[in-house]
């Protein structure tokens, strides 16, 4: 009989412990899911912006007399450097610094965009003789 009582007490204590543990963890699980969703959204915003700049550079290369102008949303924590034949994009993802290089068959006017606050900007890409100039202009 005491063996049955001991088992039931252990089972009750186990259920009690799991209940307390789950009530403590449930609010944090929501935060973890929200954090993962924000990281996915920020990666998408980086890729959308990088692709938009890339499309503008390719367009100006194919149409040297035209200027590429478009409103773009600049993502948070993104640093861009244009030099020689490279575009260097640095951003923070999951507390790690990620760097993406894109090489082109044209030369850029050396420029960099660091510590720019996230908002909507005007992307202006043009070609001067053999050099591509990328400029990000504040709208407001």
What residues make up the domain containing 87? Answer: 2-138
Whether residue 73 has pLDDT greater than 80: yes
**Cβ(73)–Cβ(97) below 8 Å:** no
Share of the chain above pLDDT 70, in %: 89
Helix (H) or strand (E) run with residue 83 in it = strand 78-83
For residue range 21-54, what is the model confidence (pLDDT) as tens digits? 878 877 776 666 665 556 556 788 889 999 999 9
pLDDT for the residue 18: 84
pLDDT for the residue 139: 84
pLDDT for the residue 81: 93
Domain count, the chain: 1
């Amino acid at each position: 009989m005491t063996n049955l009582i001991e088992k039931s007490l252990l089972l009750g204590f186990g259920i009690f412990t799991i209940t307390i543990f789950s009530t403590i963890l449930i609010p944090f699980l929501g935060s973890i899911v929200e954090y993962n969703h924000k990281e996915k959204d920020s990666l998408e915003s980086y890729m959308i912006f990088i692709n938009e700049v890339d499309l503008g550079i390719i367009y100006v290369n194919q149409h040297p007399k035209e200027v590429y102008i478009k409103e773009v949303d600049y993502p948070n924590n993104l640093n861009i450097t244009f030099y020689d034949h490279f575009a260097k994009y640095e951003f923070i993802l999951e507390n790690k610094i990620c760097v993406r290089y894109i090489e082109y068959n044209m030369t850029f006017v050396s420029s960099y965009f660091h510590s720019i606050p996230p908002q909507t900007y005007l992307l202006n890409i043009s070609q001067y003789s053999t050099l591509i100039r990328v400029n990000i202009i504040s709208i407001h």
